[in-house]
Amino acid sequence: MRLGLNFSRVVLAVVLTACATNPVTGRRELALISEAQEIQMGQEAAQQAAATFGVVDDAALQRYVSDIGMAMARDSERPELPWSFQVVDDPSPNAFALPGGFIFVTRGLLTMMSDEAELATVIGHEIGHVTARHSVQQMSRAQLAQIGLVAGSILSPQIAELSGLASQGLQLLFLRYGRDAEYQADDLGFRYALNDNYDVRAFQSTFTSLARASALAGSSPLPTWLSTHPYPEDRIARNQDRVAALDRSLSGTIRDPEEYMTRINGLVYGNNPRNGFFEGNVFHHPDLAFRITFPQGWKGQNMTQAVIAVSPQEDAIIQLTLAGNASPSAALQQFLSQQGIQPGQASTQTLHGNPAAVGTFQAQTQEGGVLQGLVAMVQYGGNTYQLLGYTSAQQYQAYGSSFQQSLGTFQRETNQSVLAAKPNRVSTVKLPSAMSLSQFNQRYPSSISIEELALINQVQSAGAVMPAGTIAKRVVER
């Protein structure tokens, strides 16, 4: 009992001392993470996000988005943060803020909007999450809920690292803020955008469009905008109230559709087949000219650094990654010699004419369980590929043959239509006369459905008329 009492006093002391002044509200609040830790976590997660999803290879577009964000961030409550704004190469319509000022928007988001003011309101909202330290608050509460671990972490840097205080990684991308935090970020973003003379009525069209677009996430590993930014109807109504309460006119404020549409003209739309794509359970990669077949019914996911397939029961996984350019035997030896790996049988062979080395292994998990798997290193096209299938040791007998069959399908891609696949891209058109969306689609054919075309042009139906001079979007294959 005395031990428990002493522990409670430690916890109380931690809570009483671990407070900081919120830069936005000026109020004291619980903060178990310092600003230096916040920045460090954000930097680590930002590096992982850029590596995982890739950044859009368009320097002019990146500067454009960064300039909009930096102008608002410099006038925020936390101008000293190492702010960064990047466009990631992901088709889902979303934006997310990492601790310390690292903000990302997806190219999928950019294709949903029609002018600079809309982009500014979204970026302003994400800046608001950072200035109000919403991720810090959320992580502090989570740590407080596991107070024994938190108290130990504060006393021991080693435990802090193990408990995740030093690095939250990509888990930070999937934070879902509460209603109050979303409302506060909206209020802050409204103010930041207005201070930079943007037409803040754009918030309404942006959020309406994004709410409609949430179903377009496709095969992206990112969550949809609606899943991370809830309550769209309430928030649109609140913005209307904010606009009505303004004591200044919004005439002369910035919308700038021409500049915005110029920047996104030619942007890849949807999934880019050059980066690889699934066709049923077959994964094709045109640029690297290979294909692999995963087990029927497994859920495939294509990411920048890996292709994975997960069993329907989510208890087994097959993963394909690059493993450098060492020989298959050397790559296999390096894999099997890792700490915690117990190698099994290994052999060299050829796989569809490509040199390969194959081995079995077991590995201990942090939770005390045992994984068992099959790994193949295949040399092809100047690269060595690692193909890995694993599950629990108890389940290996059930999945071993599936691993062998799938890994054995890695081979050269010979289908010319696959090798020649090209991405769809946004193409902008300034309308010479008023026309309905249907008329626009007839005159300037698009490779997407009329419903999707209505969505990206922010019109309600195919019969909606767009005025002369409107800059409209279509999607074409180039």
Q: Which residue has the higher pLDDT, 3 or 447?
A: 447
Q: Is the pLDDT of residue 165 over 70?
A: no
On the question of pLDDT at 151 being above 80, the answer is: no
The 8-class DSSP code of residue 214 comes to G
Three-state secondary-structure class, residue 204: helix
Which of the four pLDDT bands, split at 50, 70 and 90, describes residue 60? very high
| Pure H helices in 348-465 | 396-407, 416-419, 437-443, 450-456
Region class of 307: left (phi > 0), else alpha (psi between -120 and 50), else beta:
beta
Name the percent of the chain lying above pLDDT 90.
68
* Cβ(317)–Cβ(298) below 8 Å: no
Superfamily (CATH H level) for 273-419: Mog1/PsbP, alpha/beta/alpha sandwich (3.40.1000.10)
421: pLDDT strictly greater than 60: yes
Report whether 89 contacts 118 (CB < 8 A). no
pLDDT digits (tens, 9 = 90+) for 260-303: 999 999 999 998 999 999 999 999 999 999 999 999 999 998 88
The Cα 239–Cα 237 span in angstroms is 5
User: Would the pLDDT of 145 be above 60?
Assistant: no
- Which strand (E) or helix (H) includes residue 190? helix 179-195
Band of pLDDT at residue 24, cut at 50, 70 and 90? confident
Instruction: Give residue-wise pLDDT tens across range 189-243.
Output: 999 999 999 999 999 888 888 777 765 545 555 655 556 666 777 888 999 999 9
Helices assigned H by DSSP within 381-462? 396-407, 416-419, 437-443, 450-456
| Average pLDDT for the chain | 86
Confidence of residue 304 (pLDDT cuts 50, 70, 90): confident
